[in-house]
Amino acid sequence: MAEKEITNAILHYLKTVPTCFAWKTHGGIYGTAGIPDIICCIGGRFVAFEVKTPSGKLTKLQEITIQRIRKAKGQAYKVSSVKEVKTILERLED
C-alpha cells in the first residue's frame, strides 16, 4: 500500500473517532518542512502522525520535528497503518 493510501485510511478512521479533529498537512513552498502528515486534536491532546510505508524511514528533519513536538508535551508518532493508530489512541485513553 502506498503512503497516500495509508494516510487516507488513517484519516477515514480518525473521522469516526468522536473526540477527534484531524487534518492532512500539505508540503510545498507554503508548508513547514518536517511537519507530520496528520495533525489531530483528540480529547484535548495534540497528536501528530508521520505516515510511512512499513519499510519507510523518517528523515532527519522529521525525527527532529517529532522530538520537538514531544518536548513541547505533544504526542507524535511514526505510523504505517490504521491498526497502529488505533493502538496509540487506546494507550492515550488510559
* pTM for the full predicted model: 0.94
Q: Which domains does the chain have, with CATH numbers?
A: 3-93 (3.40.1350.10)
- Alpha carbons 63 and 21: distance in angstroms, whole number: 24
Q: Mean pLDDT lowest for which of 1-15, 17-31, 44-58, 70-84? A: 17-31
Q: Torsion angle of alpha carbons 22, 27, 29, 35, nearest 10°? A: 70
Residue 84: which pLDDT band, with cuts at 50, 70 and 90? Answer: very high
Grid cell for residue 68: 520537538
Mean pLDDT confidence for 34-61: 96
**pLDDT of amino acid 81:** 98
* pLDDT tier at 1, thresholds 50, 70, 90: confident
DSSP 21-40: EEEE---STTSPTT--SEEE
- Report whether pLDDT(94) > 80: no
